[in-house]
Structures are given as structure tokens and as C-alpha cells.
Amino acid sequence: MLKIDLSGRIALVTGASGELGSVIARTLAACGADVVLHYCRSAEKAERAAKLVEQEGRRAFLVQCDVTDFDSVCSMQKTVSDQFGKVDLLVANAVIQYEWKNILDQPLADFQSQFDSCVMQTVHLAKVFLPDMIAQGYGRIVAINTECSALAEPGVGAYTAGKRGLDGIVRCLAKEVGCHGITINQVAPGWTISERDRQNHTESAPEYDKTVPLGRRGTDQEIAQMTAFLLSDLASFTTGAYIPVSGGRVMPAI
């Protein structure tokens, strides 16, 4: 029977204090990985996520960092390497939240924030964590994208631009580092049910649900499971992929 086995690996999840990030961290721990949980400002939420990792019997390590700042990412890498170990698995999940508006009404600063937290985060992480992966001839990276980057719908211009830029970086990196035994892929969620939805009983969104071939929103756990699969050796010959987890709402063409 196939099993997602991440035993003996150290995973870093950026934005692990967020709702999706915490579920990804817990899922990787359930698959056997020790987990570094990155946060920027939400230390209390990150501590709660770390406890979920420890409940799975794995080690958890908290680290604060501004992923849009290269020096901060360098400092994070040194702290993790010195105090916890070298990162084998990397999930670029953090993103700056902002109020969505039409492009003509969107403040210019929001376009910059999405570029910084989607494109430059990935560049920073690659520059500081890939050298160790290259040295050991092994590494797995998953960047969290979105269905929005494929759909380009009204009102999400800044987010779409940032995530489409992320797509370009991932595809180039996959070709540049594949020769070192490293894979890098993207998981692209649709509008995902989170713990907040469960608490507020807002899992159902009829107008959105009817646009989804499977007729419902996906869950945070379903996103985390695809992420874990791509980080495992079950996906050892998959790289450069953009994989929607959107119930069929996005179907990339050949």
C-alpha cells in the first residue's frame, strides 16, 4: 500500500501561523517530518500550530522572519540550520493579505506587496535554502499558488499578478535545479474551507459552489494532502508542475 512517508526529513513551512499553513505543518508531521514553523507577526498562532506538530510526535521549531526581506531570510536559515538542522522540504505558503479591489481602485502599494510576498519570497528562499539541497543532492519545494492566477477574474489583479510571477520563477527554478535531484512544484487551491469557516458555519457558498464541477469548496486538509504528496518521493519524477486543487474549476490545457 502506498504511504506518504516523510520520516527523517525536516520541513519548513512559511506562513505556518495562518489557517492553511498550520494544517500543512500538522499534515507533514503526521507523515513523519519534523517541522520548522515560520511566522512574521502572529507568534501566538504559530505556537498553537507547533503544538499540533508535537501532538503528532514530531519536533517543532518556531522562527520569526520577514520573508520579503533578504537579510531576514538569511538570518532565518542560519538559525534553523544551527539550532534544528538543514531543511529538506520547503513550503512557500506565506502571503501578504490585503483588501481586493478592481485594478483602477487598487492602491499601488498592494501590487508591490504581492510581488514581494509571492515572487521575492520564493527568490529569497531559493537563494538561501537551495545551496544545502544542492550539496546533498536532494530537496523538495512546493509553492502555494492559487486558482486566481489561471482564472484572472475581476477584482484580484494584484494577487493574480503576484502569483503569475511566482509561476514563472518556479518553472525556471525547476529547470535550473532538476539536475541536482531537486523538485519544485506548485499547488493551486480554489476558495478553501478553513477552520474559520467551520467555526462560523460558512462552508457552503452556493454561488461559488455551482461554478465547481465537483460542486463544493475544497478543504484545507485536501490542499495539505496534495502538498505532502509533492514533497514525498512518490512524486520524485514530477517537477515544474502547476497543480490545481480546485474541484475542476481550473483545468490547465495542453
Active site residue 159: yes
For the chain, domain boundaries: 10-243
The active-site residue, picked from 98, 138, 159, 208, is 159
Distance CA 121, CA 68 (A): 5
> DSSP labels for 176-243?
HHGGGTEEEEEEEE-SEE-HHHHHHT----HHHHTTSTTSS-EEHHHHHHHHHHHHSGGGTT--S-EE
What confidence tens digit (pLDDT) does each residue in 109-160 have? 999 999 999 999 999 999 999 999 999 999 999 999 999 999 999 999 999 9
Cell of 102: 478592481
Burial class (CB in 10 A: 0-12, 13-18, 19+), 118: buried
Amino acid of residue 199: Q
Q: Please state, rounded to an integer, the average pLDDT across all residues of the chain.
A: 97
Residues 244, 148, 186, 60: what is their CA dihedral angle, to the nearest 10 degrees?
Answer: -100
- Does residue 1 register a pLDDT over 90? no
d(CA 167, CA 103): 21
Helices (H) and strands (E) in the chain, counts: 10, 9
Whether 189 and 163 have beta carbons less than 8 Å apart is answered as no
For residue 172, how many other CB atoms are within 10 A of its CB? 13
Q: Quick one: average pLDDT of 64-92?
A: 98
Domain 10-243 top-level CATH class: alpha beta
pTM beyond 0.75: yes
| Residue 38, φ and ψ in degrees, nearest 5 | -85, 145
